[in-house]
Amino acid sequence: MMAAMKSVIVGTAGHIDHGKSALVKALTGTDPDRLEEEKRRGITIDIGFAHLELPSPGGEMLRLGFVDVPGHERFVRNMLAGVGGIDLVLLVIAADESIKPQTREHFDICRLLGIQRGITVLTKSDLVDRDTLEVVRLEVEDFLQGSFLEGAPILAVSSRAGAGLEELKRELVQAAGGTHQRDASALARLPIDRVFVMKGFGTVVTGTLLAGTIAKEEELELFPGRRRVRVRGVQVHGQPAERATAGQRTALNLAGVSKEELARGMMLAPTNTFRTTRRTDVSLALLPSARPLKDRARVHLHAYTAETVAEVVLYGGKQLAPGQSGFAQLRTAEPMLLLPGDRFILRQFSPVVTIGGGTVRDAAPLAGAKANAETLLPVLANGTAPEILAARVARRGQAGLALGDAVAETGWRQALVEAQAASLQGKLLRFGDVLIAQEAFSQAQRETLAAVEEFHRANPLVAGISKEELREKLGLSPEVFGAVLEALLREKKLAITGEQVRSAGRSLVFKDEEAESKRTIEQAFSGAGLKVPALKDVLAGLRVDKATAQKIVTLLLRDKVLVKISDDLVFHRRALEELRQRVNAYKAKSAKIGVAEFKDLTGVSRKYAIPLLEYLDRERVTRRVGDQREIL
Ligand SMILES: Nc1nc2c(ncn2[C@@H]2O[C@H](COP(=O)(O)OP(=O)(O)OP(=O)(O)O)[C@@H](O)[C@H]2O)c(=O)[nH]1
Ligand SMILES: [Mg+2]
């Protein structure tokens, strides 16, 4: 059955003219050099593709997809677009030339990308004698020491004469059997490496499916840009298929998008799942051959088929020494869709050479992440899945982490996030779709209690604070706030009546008649304008005792609802505000005002006019000059 067939992507690597393309053609029958210019110049310019099916020892077929890369140093960026999705590498070294600069650079790239398996092929064996071949073999063994290819097969092959090809196929089957199977049940991501139009089909994109499954008729999101496209048709290794699964060379016929809107470097993924970023926290390794990397250096960043310029903000100091590793933040010129675990390559800004690479740890760093990079990044880099989730939730504090955000940050399916969260019982809590650390939740409870107490202190005559006001004050999400209230209610630390929250120990200080009295006083003054009643008359009409009435007045004065301008004269704030405006307007007519004019202007008697003018003097609205007031 087709679906059971294991797919493995094999990439070539090696110096220009060392026989990579010839080897792919000798193995598969397909010339990976498809461009006219490539055929004319006899060199590879862009990545090329071919495939081969071989029976595995168990009897089932093994499907090998080949990505052939150019060796020319000017086309390393094309090489990088091809090498991102490969499972095993054929390191091609011509027996008549041995190790050359791009042998080293391509191999460095393979190591930085964390490629685990491969075979070294000494090509053009027909051009050298036995002794030369043995010398080259020794050189190569030396070169591979300490790398993932140490101990892996080194085979001599002549693509021209056909020598060594059968043995190479056997070793390919062997090596392919040991490659790590990509996760077909994960969330799909397809980095686009080619875009073209096929007559009768329309727009087609190709790429190596990194993870997941893409089926015909599925809707996908294109990054960057978040545009939606529909998969009209699927081809796998050149054959029409119902779906493509992780690790397969995949071609998609897309509806809803034109060739001009697509480019190498874009990524297809499920809809409404991921976000792009311009800031990515990473583990970074600098090659021993590189120059020291300065903090804030500009570099070229390559990740899968994407390429952009990035600024490297080092977390560990002012510079990174050759051969050293450290944590850093990459600030990219273009938005990128990256996930933890993704590998990348850095090339020097100028001259352009490969200087290092690393692994994405966090493509959703919080602002000011540098402060806790030292504690967080080691966990993200080396922790177990539950430890990573716990750290991601903890850093969100009382806001918590929504499940959808957890998926976007980790790249894990929601079911996996939920399973990991469940395994963290006691450390993580879940309310609705929000995860929150137990520690942050306890803190939120303490702060909520304190905020309620504080409200009571500041508003002794109000029964309680409204839920919404309290939530806003605390800055909690509705889910977390609801859970906090519920917990405090259960522990009998808070009491809730309708929309009002109060301390549980607090009796209802605020009785109906008190509220009514407060309203009565306010209204008595706000309705009177400047012709205010005597305070004691207003208080005498209230339904509360004298002491309580006095307390209410004190509060109204403290809150500046009422303003006392002399021992027995109290005004509403709004009346005084209007008075200021009127006096200021009068200035247009005259710069000065006497008591008589003031009485005319305001309609108040002398009894009120004098204290009011004195008040205005104090407030520096007016200044006394003899019997007159100058309006300031
Ligand atoms: N004698 C001999 N010549 C070979 C062999 N393999 C390749 N060649 C020749 O070497 C030249 C370069 O081969 P390619 O396969 O194009 O080399 P390449 O590594 O793909 O080169 P780039 O893609 O440009 O980096 C061609 O002229 C091939 O015919 C071989 O096994 N024996
Ligand atoms: Mg080639």
Check pLDDT > 60 for residue 267: yes
For residue 273, the one-letter residue type is T
Report which of residues 551 and 194 the model is more confident about. 194
Q: pLDDT over 70 for what percent of the chain?
A: 98
**Taking residues 393-400, what's their average pLDDT?**
94
For residue 472, the one-letter residue type is E
Residues whose Cβ atom is located within 5 A of ion ligand 2: 20-21, 44
User: For residues 68 and 79, what is the distance between their CA atoms, to the nearest angstrom?
Assistant: 8
Going by alpha carbons, the residue nearest to atom 13 of ligand 1 is: 19
Check pLDDT > 90 for residue 439: yes
Residue 511: band (very low, low, confident or very high) from pLDDT cuts 50, 70, 90: low
Residue 1: band (very low, low, confident or very high) from pLDDT cuts 50, 70, 90: very low
**Taking residues 552-576, what's their average pLDDT?**
87
User: For residues 66 and 621, what is the distance between their CA atoms, to the nearest angstrom?
Assistant: 87
Query: In the prediction, which pLDDT does 507 show?
Result: 57
What b/e string do you get for 203-240 counting C-beta neighbours within 10 Å, with b at 16 or more? bbbbbbbbbbbbebebebbbbbeeeebebbbbbbbeee
Decide: 16 in ligand 1 pocket, CB within 6 A: yes
Separation of 31 CA from ligand 1 center, angstroms? 12
Decide: 280 in ligand 1 pocket, CB within 6 A: no
**134-155 pLDDT, tens per residue?**
999 999 999 999 999 999 999 9
What atom of ligand 1 comes closest to residue 102's alpha carbon? 25
User: Which segment of 76-85, 462-471, 474-483, 484-493 scores lowest on mean pLDDT?
Assistant: 462-471
Separation of 304 CA from ligand 2 center, angstroms? 20
Tokens representing residue 72 in the block: 């020319």
Going by alpha carbons, the residue nearest to atom 2 of ligand 1 is: 124
Q: What is the dihedral of CA 439, 444, 449, 453, to 10 degrees?
A: 130
Q: Name the burial class of residue 104, with classes exposed (0-12), middle (13-18) and buried (19+) by CB atoms within 10 angstroms of its CB.
A: middle
User: For residues 89 and 625, what is the distance between their CA atoms, to the nearest angstrom?
Assistant: 97
Residue 3: band (very low, low, confident or very high) from pLDDT cuts 50, 70, 90: very low
Decide if 304 contacts 292 (C-beta within 8 A). Answer: no
Query: In the prediction, which pLDDT does 2 show?
Result: 42
Distance of CA 402 to CAs 324, 411, 433, Å? 36, 14, 6
Decide: 43 in ligand 1 pocket, CB within 6 A: yes
Decide: 17 in ligand 1 pocket, CB within 6 A: yes
Check pLDDT > 60 for residue 510: no
Query: In the prediction, which pLDDT does 504 show?
Result: 87
Helix ranges, 289-402 (H): 370-382, 385-394
Decide: 32 in ligand 1 pocket, CB within 6 A: no
What atom of ligand 1 comes closest to residue 16's alpha carbon? 25
User: For residues 602 and 612, what is the distance between their CA atoms, to the nearest angstrom?
Assistant: 10
CA angle 82, 85, 87 (to 5 degrees): 115
Going by alpha carbons, the residue nearest to atom 7 of ligand 1 is: 19
User: For residues 269 and 267, what is the distance between their CA atoms, to the nearest angstrom?
Assistant: 7
Decide if 27 contacts 121 (C-beta within 8 A). Answer: no
Query: In the prediction, which pLDDT does 374 show?
Result: 82
User: For residues 608 and 100, what is the distance between their CA atoms, to the nearest angstrom?
Assistant: 101
Test site for ligand 1: of 17, 79, 125, 155, most ligand atoms within 8 A of the Cβ? 17
**75-121 pLDDT, tens per residue?**
999 999 999 999 999 999 999 999 999 999 999 999 999 999 999 99
**Taking residues 383-401, what's their average pLDDT?**
95
Query: In the prediction, which pLDDT does 268 show?
Result: 98
Q: Phi and psi dihedrals of 594, rounded to 5?
A: -100, 175
Separation of 21 CA from ligand 1 center, angstroms? 7
448 secondary structure, DSSP code: H
Which ligand sits closest to the CA of 73? 1
Test site for ligand 1: of 25, 125, 159, most ligand atoms within 8 A of the Cβ? 159
529 Rama class: left (phi>0) / alpha (psi -120 to 50) / beta = left
Other CB atoms closer than 10 Å to residue 155's CB: what's the count? 20
Distance of CA 359 to CAs 237, 362, 498, Å? 29, 9, 52
Going by alpha carbons, the residue nearest to atom 29 of ligand 1 is: 22
Decide: 602 in ligand 1 pocket, CB within 6 A: no
Test site for ligand 1: of 12, 15, 16, 21, most ligand atoms within 8 A of the Cβ? 21
User: Which segment of 295-309, 314-328, 488-502, 510-524 scores lowest on mean pLDDT?
Assistant: 510-524
Q: What's CA 495's distance to the chain center, in Å?
A: 39
Residue 280: band (very low, low, confident or very high) from pLDDT cuts 50, 70, 90: very high
**Taking residues 320-341, what's their average pLDDT?**
96
**Taking residues 174-191, what's their average pLDDT?**
92
Going by alpha carbons, the residue nearest to atom 8 of ligand 1 is: 19
Q: What's CA 111's distance to the chain center, in Å?
A: 27
Check pLDDT > 80 for residue 462: no
**417-428 pLDDT, tens per residue?**
999 999 998 899
Q: Phi and psi dihedrals of 560, rounded to 5?
A: 60, 30
Test site for ligand 1: of 12, 15, 16, 18, most ligand atoms within 8 A of the Cβ? 18
User: For residues 204 and 496, what is the distance between their CA atoms, to the nearest angstrom?
Assistant: 61
Q: Which residues are paired to 166 by β-bridges?
A: none
Query: In the prediction, which pLDDT does 509 show?
Result: 54
Decide: 102 in ligand 1 pocket, CB within 6 A: no
Query: In the prediction, which pLDDT does 487 show?
Result: 94
What atom of ligand 1 comes closest to residue 157's alpha carbon? 31
**DSSP assignments along 509-549, one per residue:** -S-HHHHHHHHHHHHHHHTTTTSPPPHHHHHHTSSS-HHHH
Separation of 388 CA from ligand 2 center, angstroms? 42
Q: Name the burial class of residue 153, with classes exposed (0-12), middle (13-18) and buried (19+) by CB atoms within 10 angstroms of its CB.
A: middle
**593-627 pLDDT, tens per residue?**
999 999 999 988 888 899 999 999 999 999 999 88
Cα-Cα-Cα-Cα dihedral sign, residues 311, 314, 318, 323: negative
Separation of 345 CA from ligand 2 center, angstroms? 22
**Taking residues 303-308, what's their average pLDDT?**
97
Decide if 502 contacts 495 (C-beta within 8 A). Answer: yes
Going by alpha carbons, the residue nearest to atom 10 of ligand 1 is: 19
What atom of ligand 1 comes closest to residue 158's alpha carbon? 31
Query: In the prediction, which pLDDT does 606 show?
Result: 86
Mean pLDDT of the chain: 92
Decide: 22 in ligand 1 pocket, CB within 6 A: yes
Separation of 386 CA from ligand 2 center, angstroms? 45
Decide: 430 in ligand 1 pocket, CB within 6 A: no
Query: In the prediction, which pLDDT does 244 show?
Result: 96
Decide: 158 in ligand 1 pocket, CB within 6 A: yes
Check pLDDT > 90 for residue 440: yes
What atom of ligand 1 comes closest to residue 25's alpha carbon? 15
User: For residues 205 and 225, what is the distance between their CA atoms, to the nearest angstrom?
Assistant: 16
Which ligand sits closest to the CA of 18? 1
Decide: 124 in ligand 1 pocket, CB within 6 A: yes
Residue 512: band (very low, low, confident or very high) from pLDDT cuts 50, 70, 90: confident
Decide: 291 in ligand 1 pocket, CB within 6 A: no
User: Which segment of 92-96, 134-138, 298-302, 369-373 scores lowest on mean pLDDT?
Assistant: 369-373
Separation of 46 CA from ligand 2 center, angstroms? 9
**Taking residues 259-276, what's their average pLDDT?**
96
**30-77 pLDDT, tens per residue?**
999 999 999 999 999 999 999 999 998 888 889 999 999 999 999 999
Decide: 387 in ligand 1 pocket, CB within 6 A: no
User: For residues 389 and 417, what is the distance between their CA atoms, to the nearest angstrom?
Assistant: 8
Residue 316: band (very low, low, confident or very high) from pLDDT cuts 50, 70, 90: confident
**Which of 161, 183, 244, 178 is closest to 208 using CA atoms?**
244
Which ligand sits closest to the CA of 94? 1
Query: In the prediction, which pLDDT does 391 show?
Result: 96
Query: In the prediction, which pLDDT does 89 show?
Result: 98
Residue 469 makes CB contacts below 8 A (sequence gap 6+) with none
